[in-house]
Structure 1
Amino acid sequence: MDAAVVSQLSHVPAAARTLEQRGYDGCWTAEINHDPFLPLTLAAEHTERMELGTSIAVAFARNPMSVAQIGWDLQDYSEGRLLLGLGSQIKPHIEKRFSMPWGRPVARMREFVQALHEIWACWRDGTRLNFEGEFYTHTLMTPMFVPQQHAYADPKVFVAAVGDRMTEMCGEVADGLLAHAFSTQRYVREVTIPTLERGIARAGRTRADVVVSSPLFVVTGHDEQELAANAVATRKQIAFYASTPAYRGVLELHGWGDLQTELHRLSRAGEWDTMGVLIDDTMLAEFAVVAPVDELVHTIRARCDGLIDRVLVGFPPSIDEATVVGLVSELQAEETS
């Protein structure tokens, strides 16, 4: 069971220590308004056992060599606890925010992951670096630029995927799939897992070779009033994702495709509060775990069993510390029973 750690550097040490004290297995950063790697350095320094992951770092804003180097160093500094989560982002962000090239993202991501492993093999085993791909070429590595050896295996590489082709590619070359929070149980069961397994089979691997990790929207409370209040922000977040054309397929599986068109129109007009109202109770229950505190653990388990290997759970701010610790402990106990 995992959680997100804040990315503002001054807040990371205390936040990471708190997550470890609560009993979480891992903490993840996201590349939103802060760098995703710097916080993990602090988290590694102030924790002892939690795995530390990026969910996600934008691959195409970087290149395989720069990511391989920071992955190597963080794996060393964290004593083998790094989970390197990569995502493609979308064309407007890559071209207009990062000023980097875009094109054929699935093929580009496959090559990115393959290049990482070639670079790490060069540093670890002393083999000649000779990676020549369609998008990336790495053929120069002189002794001065080889980092010091360390005792840890290569970081596990996770790739974020929603579409079929990227999901299949994860099954072929990645150590893990980072599923999107905007996924229903039905979508994961009927679309994500079968698609992932096609890639796994094509590469001659097994389902055990690929870890499926997913965040969950959680709406909970001690009573109906608190539950309803905590649902407001989640409805808005679901509506935001639902307005994105790339995620329309999730809605269409449930017969809600037309809602994406309306939400997209409202998002362009800045009608964020109105968008949230359009997420009714039925939709909320499909996209989020909705349960009172005393039923939450059972509901999370029912949502994930047989589909999700590791889950990222955040609790509403109104839930007190003692309750959070108890919930995490109960979930961990069920995982190991």
Structure 2
Amino acid sequence: MKLGLQLGYWGAGPIPNAAELVVAAEDAGFDSVFTAESWGSDCYTPLAWWGSQTSRVRLGTAVAQLSARPPTSLAMAALTLDHLSGGRHVIGLGVSGPQVVEGWYGQPFGKPLARTREYVQVVRNVLAREAPVTNDGPHYRLPLADGDGVTGLGKALKPITHPLRADIPIWLGAEGPRNVAQTAEIADGWLAVFYTPRLAGMFDNWLDEGFARPHARRTRADFEIAANAQCVVTDDVGAALERYRPSTALYVGGMGAKEKNFHADLYRRMGYGDVVDEVSRLFLSDRKAEAVAAVPDEMVRETMLVGTRDEVRAQIGQWEAAGVTTLMVTARDVGTIRELAALV
């Protein structure tokens, strides 16, 4: 199993010691470093800035939001970073949710599966640089030929800059069965935001459906599964769970609309339906402290690796046996990075 450092997106400001963490991860033998975005910091600027201090680790976005950039713009950023890093970029994409897509980016959220498929294909066409890029699909039409304010003068273009690699890996963030199956069909890897080995069989069924499709890009043998996980080596498991309980409550109750929250849906599939209902009710009633308190220990621990060195080492083995190829950890100190590298 490989290790990746998940720096995530910023809160009120930058991660204070991020540059130190990135260098430590490379020195410790980590395979990759990832950044994310929500509706604050973007993912590409920090990745390029901190990644400039590295020479070996892969540099990935987990995730770049589809609605933040047209696919040609995403491809421009990707080919640029891939050149600057000497071929170390991994494109990680995700659709986000309707609150962010329609509320922040001002774009329609409908048909996320179709949008993702079309987006990925346009990015691949740009990177292939075999012909001027055109697309007849309904979501990202190129050239744009009609509509309010459209001149009709648009021209199909190839990128001026020759991509260093035509096959920059594309990994997709996905949580539901149809989305995961499509990821296995069209992508090079899966970014699993809330993974639990307990449900590996369910995830495998979803993935296998995608691998079995006629034009699947990969097989299980050359497909990457990168799972996010908080990893805490400690004798005080209770304190670690308290530290991450607010995050679980936020994603279940506050990171999505009441009518559509993909994180909540995944936790329902884990068997926490009643808890999700209660946490959502409290969170949406602005009773956040009560919402956090309503999250049980086992729900927090489900997607974590936590315990003594021997316990965490055993848990790493369980995740690897379940099919995870990269463990994307959210370590925020150099000591934890070095300790996890030693365990893996």
Return the TM-score normalized by structure 2: 0.84
- Letter in structure 1 aligned against 2:294: L
SS in 2 for 1:162: coil
Report the Cα distance in structure 2 between the residues aligned to 1:165 and 1:39, rounded to whole angstroms: 32
Aligned 8 A contact 1:170 1:176 in 2:
yes
User: Number of aligned pairs?
Assistant: 318
User: Percentage identity across aligned positions?
Assistant: 26
Q: Please list every run of 5 or more consecutive structure 2 residues that lacks an aligned counterpart in the other structure.
A: 144-154
CA displacement 1:160-194 (0-9 Å, x = unmatched): 1011121111111111111122x32223x132221
**How big is the shift at 1:75?**
0.8
Report the Cα distance in structure 2 between the residues aligned to 1:255 and 1:155, rounded to whole angstroms: 37
**How big is the shift at 1:114?**
0.6
- Letter in structure 2 aligned against 1:242: V
Within 5 Å, give how 1:20-35 maps onto structure 2: 20-32=26-38, 33-35=40-42
CA displacement 1:85-123 (0-9 Å, x = unmatched): 01101112111111122210100110000111112222x
Which moves more between the two structures, 201-210 or 82-91?
Answer: 201-210
Aligned 8 A contact 2:170 2:188 in 1:
yes
Report the Cα distance in structure 2 between the residues aligned to 1:36 and 1:316, rounded to whole angstroms: 18
- Select which of 232, 235, 244 maps to 2:245: 235
Q: 1:197 to 1:11 in 2, by over 3 A?
A: same
Report the Cα distance in structure 1 between the residues aligned to 2:96 and 2:72, rounded to whole angstroms: 19
**Which position in structure 2 is the counterpart of 1:334?**
none
Within 5 Å, give how 1:35-50 maps onto structure 2: 35-50=42-57
Aligned 8 A contact 2:24 2:338 in 1:
no
Aligned 8 A contact 1:168 1:197 in 2:
yes
**Which position in structure 2 is the counterpart of 1:131?**
135
Q: 1:257 to 1:41 in 2, by over 3 A?
A: same
Q: 1:322 to 1:39 in 2, by over 3 A?
A: closer
Q: 1:229 to 1:62 in 2, by over 3 A?
A: same
When the two chains are superposed, the root-mean-square deviation of aligned CA atoms in Å is 2.3
Aligned 8 A contact 1:91 1:102 in 2:
yes
Report the Cα distance in structure 1 between the residues aligned to 2:192 and 2:340, rounded to whole angstroms: 23
Q: 1:165 to 1:88 in 2, by over 3 A?
A: same
**Which position in structure 2 is the counterpart of 1:329?**
342
Asked if 1:88 corresponds to 2:95, the answer is yes
**Which position in structure 2 is the counterpart of 1:308?**
324
Aligned 8 A contact 2:5 2:331 in 1:
no
Aligned 8 A contact 1:218 1:316 in 2:
no
**Which position in structure 2 is the counterpart of 1:53?**
60
Aligned 8 A contact 1:238 1:287 in 2:
no
Report the Cα distance in structure 1 between the residues aligned to 2:291 and 2:281, rounded to whole angstroms: 10
Q: 1:135 to 1:324 in 2, by over 3 A?
A: closer
Within 5 Å, give how 1:107-256 maps onto structure 2: 107-122=114-129, 125=130, 127-139=131-143, 140-142=155-157, 146-181=159-194, 183-187=195-199, 189-202=200-213, 203-204=215-216, 205-221=218-234, 223-224=235-236, 227-243=237-253, 245-256=261-272
- Select which of 263, 266, 276 maps to 1:260: 276
CA displacement 1:131-188 (0-9 Å, x = unmatched): 221211224344xx7333254343211111011121111111111111122x32223x
CA displacement 1:255-305 (0-9 Å, x = unmatched): 321111110011113333332332323333323223223431222221332
SS in 1 for 2:184: helix
Aligned 8 A contact 1:219 1:291 in 2:
yes
Q: 1:286 to 1:11 in 2, by over 3 A?
A: closer
Aligned 8 A contact 2:124 2:166 in 1:
no
Q: 1:269 to 1:198 in 2, by over 3 A?
A: same
SS in 2 for 1:89: coil
**Which position in structure 2 is the counterpart of 1:293?**
309
